[in-house]
Chain A
């Protein structure tokens, strides 16, 4: 058994976990993050991609609203490359409750969310697909945020300050001695090796898995696992976030995310932290609800569906509330106070928009315990340095503006080498994934990253396979590169199957119209021409 020691172990590679890793590292506190899968494979990528302005919580939950608007402003500065400042509209429909509208305007005013009313005519001109049932439109500083990019930027920044992380490393139990947590036992899922990590403090930031982590040592934390299902449309139907102005409910937000539109959600309490299965009834239900904001929604091509688990904190006052009623606030549980055991802290609840604030609060707590007095700097220091305009221009010349801009945002400081490679060998600039315009050079670069252990990891880093064709063409085009990186045909074919099975899982609930044609084409390609068989996904 290998033993490592560090000062802090962070469990969970979601937004909160990587935020804590970066914050602690910037304060000079050695920390190691352990993640059972790939970064952002859970809630942090299974969401709308919405950077809240706080408007959604302005009436019911003024504390959450306040935190959202403050963090919204901070993140637009420190993580500009992960955010598209689209703005968002709250659309009040004919027949909606005017009292709620009044309360909403007051709520926004109180917490300082800037609201501008958009004249209807302008609204319909800017968003031609918006329902003509719209009676009033209000603009707020909502934006869209790329979870993958945000998480990777945090990790890369943390690494610069000495932070470390290991993916595919699953915590098996907490290491307890004399009423004190002094580390964790974990299994490296790639090598099968068991790891013992000694630390002064363990931070449980495992999101929907938090209860499981705490339960390893018999502690109880109340996490309500609330499943939300979402639909992905083939193209940007709107260019702004479109919310319905009413009591927050199901199916009332459209988010233009990169090249697609994400629409959701639903809310069901579930048992398992990885229950990502989308029910067919939920799809029908969502499409019905979507009609309210987008008439003819059923004619728009849906490429897939997915579900994520909101890890909501259920405080004693909230006990009789269902998913939507539970506060979006977060809470830090000091297990010394709760269970009399030192060295363990759990962070629960919250939202992606407030991940930095959550990380700050946890890091403050950890720093205090360790007697470190360095202040938090994550609200001021950008996640990245400015990109060199020279590299950016060169990339645009080589592969075109659309592809270059997306690639530069993804690769950031590592872009130089990839651009150089394309300049040397122009054919490396051809797209492996044409839908999302991912170059061969970028794929090769990503495959060299030790954190990329599967085709599915590659997808999360590059967006390969996330476009219209859902992996039908890019996955086989990536063959020689995967073969080179992972070695062996058996492994290569297995990677294919896993990726296709994962894509297929998202497509099957929405299998009609154009996506059905696409799937038939893909099926002919893989099952007949390439003689592959689908395989159940493990994740």
Chain B
């Protein structure tokens, strides 16, 4: 008995240790997490990285790395292996968690790390064949020896970093989630690229378009989805003559009518996804050298999607931004050329209605015969839950998803399962890294074009400028050769006429080189004028950004970097300029009170710029949303997904016929006019704004209402930044809006000495305890750019840098 107090105390102590080393719900194990030397406190970076002169396992030759004042690494290596090994090592060192999260997401493995809440997302990733596509890509890469070498070197670099880590050194997020990193493989690089394809080339309206056609009829489709906007200024100028015959394809006599399906897009593409790029020829610039500019718009996160790096090796010297998990530079420049990208959004994803022989789904009907399916067993491991086994059936089209359909003849609301097979570009073997490898080394236009032949998806508008004085733009990717409208609706999975019948030959791809107008540009708008002989897609960004850019570039002469910078930050809203005057003319002013009239006055004098300090953009956006809703809500009353007209198309319709048939709310007795609708929606919009932001005051500033947050990739509180007072808008060239927008702004002037500027909303380090985690956000928000240090030779010992700057460089000298 005398040892009882001791035993109790010992037991209490051990229990305490157990409690502190266990994860409770979302609370990390508090012992190791709060440890002042090993826990989150240890993640605080008190000193910048320091000089290093050491042996480094895994290298073949000596390597030098210089970190500049923004901690951008500049890698000087003697061979490709060391170059991409170092890129892998450095990216992992700064962004390991992000690299892993992105590839776990692509592979449908998030529930392994997080738990049951992400099972549905994982299941969708598996059913979309993300790993299937990535495995095909790896097989393709292996066929090309130098690509495979890069993949392996890059992986080895990442793994060199991972294996150097003790658990106490794991990045913060690992400690929060109580997980450890796993080795990197080439498959993960392929998965990352598939994730980009999913982000940028998975948009489709097949189901909703089919439903819209069935619900509203073909005239409606023609009215709202077939016509180009009058102000559309296509990427390839309409003056371009297509002097070839298209490769013919056979089409069915009548269009297949699919069942009305309830499936919804599991990975909705937010409107924030878009981009701008342009290049102006030396004839239009003050310096006489071409200038190229690019700002890809994506979801904004911390850490940023991009990682800035300079790679210098045998036969190459390139600088730009890279993706976390992929070797090479994706957007950037070298000593002769610069390039940038915007998304194309061709229809490279189609759904096919499948007829299985029976519930075993072993055979399906196609081309007048039963064909055999294959099956892929997907095991979804769930943290704190049971492993889920999902069998995915594959047809020759691709993997099959089950969706529910509305039985239109039977009772309302009854459903039956139907099967949609996915035909998607992401499942075609491809090797995009080879394209970037060659782009990074390309010295002129011809080598640029050759590099692009290896690029398949997600299709991009590649803008180009060179020190030779050339400018060009290629609508580039692999495009199925389709009959007009093919794949716009859900296709007949039994009829080979609906299969993809080959590809648009490269020589028929839309491109323009050194056009007479002296510039090229793209802003996700339609690639070509309607006379282009092939069908690519019917969904493009509204005309607004593209038209604004072209208008400004036409007007400008003696262009400087500052002009380009101003255009990147241009907040003009073509959308408001088009429709607001009409909206103001419709409003019945006698039904407004004093405050409402005051707000209305502010719209009367607005110059259509989405500037942070204006209140008018806040009012206009809410008003437009309300009006849009009031016009459509009564017609769009189905309980299955329908397609809604694009913003610019509805504007045009209203301007042509302001009292067209949808304006009246048919659920009411009276006939509403556009005047009624405009006035009512104006008042509703003000009520909403008052509820959200209080009385009409500076709190209504667009800078706040734009609601620009940059969250952490896991949406964890505290790791992002909130309420950035920002200018911009969905329809402005500066397409900043809540949590998405320009993810990288870059300007390159292609003189004998390349000059370049850039910024992205984040910082080199992915460590929330580093000052380099988010240090560029303020510059990004206010439109400032950093001059990029592009070294032709290792900067130490050379006179190319002022003393001050070379002192701020940190140098690593590494030897094998």
Say whether A associates with B: no
Which positions in A face B, CB cutoff 8 Å? none
